[in-house]
A and B are shown apart, each in its own frame.
Chain A
Amino acid sequence: GAVVSQHPSWVICKSGTSVKIECRSLDFQATTMFWYRQFPKQSLMLMATSNEGSKATYEQGVEKDKFLINHASLTLSTLTVTSAHPEDSSFYICSVIAGGRWTQYFGPGTRLLVL
């Protein structure tokens, strides 16, 4: 399967700062990556679909100006949480689809804590 990395794995920041999370597809050229958020004891919530070379597609209720997604290459997508607030504290996970677009592989996730 595809190997996906995320950086950083853990970040603590002050309220009002911006945080950038990188998602890399290490062995697969991903034209599409997904960004999820997961709160404790809840299932994954799709935030947006990141398409290489074009604008991301955001799910209903996700603020595109707050969660900036850039998919500048076939191996890298970034999610920037702008002006983070404590309620943005969550587990952010990216994924790529592979295997003829029928299988999804996840990165290890990034835990964000906003103080």
Chain B
Amino acid sequence: EDKVVQSPLSLVVHEGDTVTLNCSYEVTNFRSLLWYKQEKKAPTFLFMLTSSGIEKKSGRLSSILDKKELFSILNITATQTGDSAVYLCAVNTGNQFYFGTGTSLTVIP
């Protein structure tokens, strides 16, 4: 059975901290892994990863994929209160997208 597991389920940090969110997967026919940020609305796209070892970076956010160990991490440096959200990981296996349950991040001023 295809599955995507995210950890931790929730995280509370102080502004300025660095956080690492994890996403592991077991799927057949891997195509891509995607990270989304969801605040009180629909998810917004962050990154798409298809190749191992190539870091994707956008400002303070970065992500990398390890296709051998079947996981990805999302790093956020110098966190701000605006980073508070649920971060979703999804794996595309062709026409199917499997979502993790998300990591709820709360950044305290």
Contact = CB atoms under 8 A, between A and B. Distances in A.
Contact of A44 (B34, B43, B44): B43
Interface in B26-71: 31-32, 34, 36, 41-45, 48, 50
A106 B101 contact: no
Contact of B32 (A42, A91, A93, A103): A103
Interface string B84-96: 0000101010110
B88 A104 contact: no
B95 A32 contact: yes
A105 B43 CA distance: 8
Nearest to B101: A43
A104 B102 CA distance: 16
A108 B41 contact: yes
Interface residues of A, number: 21
Given A34-B97, A44-B99, A99-B48, A104 B92 contact: yes
A106 B36 CA distance: 10
Given A32-B95, A44-B88, A105 B45 contact: yes
A105 B88 CA distance: 13
Given A43-B101, A97-B97, 14 more contacts: A43-B102, A44-B43, A44-B88, A99-B48, A101-B31, A101-B92, A102-B92, A104-B92, A106-B36, A106-B44, A106-B45, A108-B42, A109-B41, A109-B42
